[in-house]
């Protein structure tokens, strides 16, 4: 068993399997129960609990965060009984959430003033990638900090890339979410077109997987669209959060993202239909609603 003590705050759809891999690899993992009790299966696997994020930071060398959005990261670190109330000298905070790159740089600067180090390491791969320890991990960190934490990343993921300095990981994740959203929309449109034209949509997908249109999204989310399995996964409301980061960042730096704006509107159609909690593959429902045709 490793002697390294790991704090892990945020044991949701993604965080729980990620923490499980660390436990299975022999790391001592501690969480905070400030919002809700720890999952029983992780407790059975050896997870321990403390009351607050401050307690977790005080008792662990590396503190991993995996929470939904920028405000939650700020609350965990700088809120009452937050991580920053601990002695952070020599400790590393690793934020694996997907949040604002600019906020990330601000958080890192504040932590460094307290003697701690900060890494942003957002992930891609969804629930399946988290469960299979196959996540892509996009890291913003100083080289020496990256090397310290890399063994943990290797337990949780497969494609681990240091993009650059702090904040660059979050920038990469925003770029990823643009590409994912637009590819989901492309797959949704192609399958809806094929279905309404009368073709066997399962055979169409099979054929497309053998050609230039092949993609992981066509493989995984195309199947979800056909089989109507829209339980998350990755919720539409979270993908919309990421696209908001993309669109606000684009406005700030003067980049045109017309198709990203359109994909956000398609997600808005899903929200209007009660689907903010659907898996993001359910963007197909927006195309179906406007086409008066369901492919499944």
**Do 186 and 145 reside in the same domain of the chain?**
no
Classify strands 92-95 and 62-65 as parallel, antiparallel or unpaired. Answer: parallel
* pTM to 2 decimal places: 0.90
Whether 105 and 46 share a structural domain = yes
pLDDT in tens, the chain (296 residues): 566 899 999 999 999 999 999 999 999 999 999 878 899 999 999 999 999 999 999 999 999 999 999 999 999 999 999 999 999 999 999 999 999 999 999 999 999 999 999 999 999 998 889 999 999 999 999 999 999 999 999 999 999 999 999 999 999 999 999 999 999 999 999 999 999 999 999 999 999 999 999 999 999 999 999 999 999 889 999 999 999 999 999 999 999 999 999 999 999 999 999 999 999 999 999 999 999 999 97
Domain boundary among 106, 140, 165: 165
Give strand pairing partners of 139.
Answer: 162
pLDDT given for residue 36 in this prediction: 84
Same domain, 122 and 208: no
Q: For residue 259, is it within any domain? A: yes
Residues 198 and 149 both lie in one domain: no
CB 140 within 8 A of CB 168: yes
Asked if 122 and 264 sit in the same domain, the reply is no
Largest CA distance in the chain: 65
- Paired with 136 in beta bridges are 124, 159
Q: How many domains does the chain have?
A: 2
Q: How far apart are CA 168 and CA 147, in angstroms?
A: 16
In the three-class reduction of DSSP (H, G, I as helix; E, B as strand; rest coil), residue 194 is classed as: helix
Of 164, 163, 159, 135, which is closest to residue 64 (Cα–Cα)? 135
Residue with token string 């406007």? 290
89 is catalytic: no
Gap between the Cα atoms of 282 and 194, Å rounded: 17
CB 63 within 8 A of CB 28: no
CA-to-CA distance for 98 and 7, rounded, in angstroms? 18
Per-residue model confidence (pLDDT) at position 4 = 83
Look at residue 279 and give its three-state secondary structure.
strand
Domain that holds residue 259: 171-291
Catalytic residue among 113, 173, 227, 241: 173
Ranges of H-type helices in the chain: 15-24, 40-44, 53-58, 70-78, 101-113, 126-131, 143-156, 168-196, 201-208, 216-227, 236-253, 258-272, 284-291
Q: 236 with 158, same domain? A: no
For residue 114, the SS3 value is: coil
> 178 and 160, same structural domain?
no
202 and 253 assigned to the same domain: yes
Check whether residue 60 and residue 180 sit in a common domain. Answer: no
Last residue of a domain, one of 113, 134, 165: 165
Does any domain span residue 296? Answer: no
């Amino acid at each position: 068993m490793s002697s390294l003590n790991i704090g892990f705050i945020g044991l949701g759809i993604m965080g729980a399997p990620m923490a499980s891999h660390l436990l299975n690899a022999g790391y001592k993992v501690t969480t905070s129960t400030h919002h809700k009790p720890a999952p029983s299966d992780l407790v059975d696997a050896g997870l321990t609990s403390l009351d607050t994020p401050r307690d977790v930071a005080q008792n662990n060398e590396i503190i991993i965060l995996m929470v939904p959005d920028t405000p939650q990261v700020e609350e965990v670190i700088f809120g009452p009984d937050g991580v920053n109330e601990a002695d952070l000298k020599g400790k590393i905070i690793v934020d694996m959430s997907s949040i604002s790159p600019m906020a990330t740089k601000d958080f890192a600067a504040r932590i460094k003033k307290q003697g701690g180090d900060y890494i942003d390491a957002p992930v891609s791969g969804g629930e399946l990638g988290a469960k299979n320890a196959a996540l892509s991990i996009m890291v913003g960190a100083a080289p020496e900090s990256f090397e310290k934490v890399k063994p943990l990343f290797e337990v949780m993921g497969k494609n681990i890339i240091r993009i650059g300095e702090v904040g660059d990981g979050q920038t990469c994740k925003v770029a990823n979410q643009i590409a994912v959203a637009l590819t989901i929309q492309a797959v949704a449109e192609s399958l809806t077109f094929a279905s309404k034209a009368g073709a066997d949509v399962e055979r169409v997908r099979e054929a497309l997987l053998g050609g230039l249109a092949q993609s992981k999204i066509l493989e995984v989310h195309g199947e979800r669209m056909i089989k109507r399995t829209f339980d998350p996964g990755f919720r539409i409301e979270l993908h919309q959060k990421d696209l908001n980061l993309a669109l606000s960042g684009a406005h700030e730096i003067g980049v045109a993202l017309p198709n990203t704006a359109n994909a956000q509107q398609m997600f808005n159609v899903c929200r209007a239909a009660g689907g903010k909690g659907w898996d993001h593959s359910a963007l197909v429902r927006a195309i179906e609603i406007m086409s008066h045709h369901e492919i499944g």
